Amino acid sequence: MKVKNICCIGAGFVGGPTMAVIAEKCPDIKITLVDKNKDKIKLWNDNDYKKIPVNEPGLISILKKVRNKNLFFSEDIDSAIVESQIIFLAVNTPTKHEGEGAGFAADLKFIDACTKNIAKVATNEKIIVEKSTLPVRTAERIKEIINNNNKHGVKFEVISNPEFLAEGTAIKDLYKSDRVLIGGDQTPSGKRAVTELVNIYKRWIPLKKILKVNVWSAELSKLASNAFLAQPISSINSLSSLSKVTDADIDEIAKAVGMDKRIGKHFLKVSPGFGGSCFQKDILNLVYLLRFYGLNEEANYWYGVIRINDNQRKRVSSIINQYFTDKKINKKVGLLGWSFKKNTNDTRESSSIYVAYNLLNQGFEVLIYDPLVDSKKIIEDLKEHNTNKNLFDSEGFLKSVHVMNTIDSITKSTKVLAIMTEWDEFKNIQKLSEEIKIFDFRNILEKSKTIFSF
């Protein structure tokens, strides 16, 4: 089969950049990116490219070349499904909040809904590609849903092609991937489906970097990779308290450990805790799987990574609170950075949300600035995080939240700032005034210029 049409369901941080790069590298293939969120699709189609909902260096330049040529953004999900030969599923898979596996397992309600719709609408042969982060055996679940809802007797193949993108460098990662993992059934039709996807990626990815595995290995590799990537962050954070009380230097420790070629230097950078859509969700999912199979010691180890991350957020909040208590000054602090890391507007599971919530609970007035995250998103994040309605109602505590447009506007109200995200522009704040007191929770400034750094 010659692939002429691709549909991707989910126009977010995975679907947008991935489809843009495929469109650029495969100009002969029509790609339609669909989403039920009409506002999101409208932003993707806006004449002002700065309004697109995903901020990734290099993405706008690609869109200028391919949008409305062979890459289209649409609300018409059904038509895109009917026209396509390959359908990518790139919808959100958050951690479950209720039911079996609540708090650990991935919530597959969006995957289920998309699959049911595909089965009902499709009228010809389809290859369904799992792009979202999913637990092991999700492909089996997708097949079962299809079998129960297949209205036209269409033949489907389900393959797994997990994304390994780092937000802020997603385009670079897509151009020069460490590896592209494609998992499918070890049947003749399953192998043919895998080959179709290989034929797309090999246009710009060397074949030696494209790994063909079984579908279960592909699904589990995604969880394992994020678990391994998250672990060094919590590992270095777990040593930051010990280094403080022993007068060791955490940056020197990180450098020494990072020079070990068996470990490497990546992620060995102290922080207020890891965030993003993948690490916590995937580790919790891995914990659930390990417990399900009775591997409790292994589960406890990986759950420890989450607990250390949670503890680091509480520790950051406590350090700020203790300073104000000791100084007996008005509890008003400026938080610099809301996204979970620089060069992205993604705030999912950002430590800034947790720290701000803790400080509000301790009676603080919190002033917030982020170069890419607007006030609407910041308020939404805090409202969503406020699950304890008995503690304080949403409108009540939000009176103590002020989203600012510049650092200078914060320093007019408070001289105490906390660096939460490692944005490059924050490296210059130590030049503002000697009156400014800085908590550097990213260790990006000279330590002599701060009142606290790890």
How confident is the model at residue 287, as a pLDDT?
Answer: 93
Q: What is the pTM of this model?
A: 0.86
Enclosing H/E stretch for 86: strand 86-89
Please state the domain extents for the chain.
Answer: 5-216, 271-453
- Look up the CATH architecture of domain 271-453: 3-Layer(aba) Sandwich (3.40)
CATH of domain 5-216: 3.40.50.720
Which residues participate in catalysis according to the annotation? 278
How would residue 393 be classed by pLDDT, with cut points 50, 70 and 90? low
User: pLDDT at residue 392 above 60?
Assistant: no
Residue with tokens 């330590």: 447
Residue whose C-alpha is closest to residue 358's, from 410, 412, 302, 420: 420
How would residue 16 be classed by pLDDT, with cut points 50, 70 and 90? very high
How confident is the model at residue 395, as a pLDDT?
Answer: 61
What's the chain's average pLDDT?
93
How confident is the model at residue 388, as a pLDDT?
Answer: 65
Share of the chain above pLDDT 90, in %: 78
pLDDT in tens, 41-58: 999 999 999 999 999 999
**C-alpha to C-alpha distance for 185 and 128, rounded to whole angstroms:** 12
Fold agreement between 5-216 and 271-453: yes
**Cα dihedral across residues 94, 46, 378, 225: positive or negative:** positive
Beta bridge partners of 373: none
pLDDT in tens, 148-183: 999 888 999 999 999 999 999 999 999 999 999 999
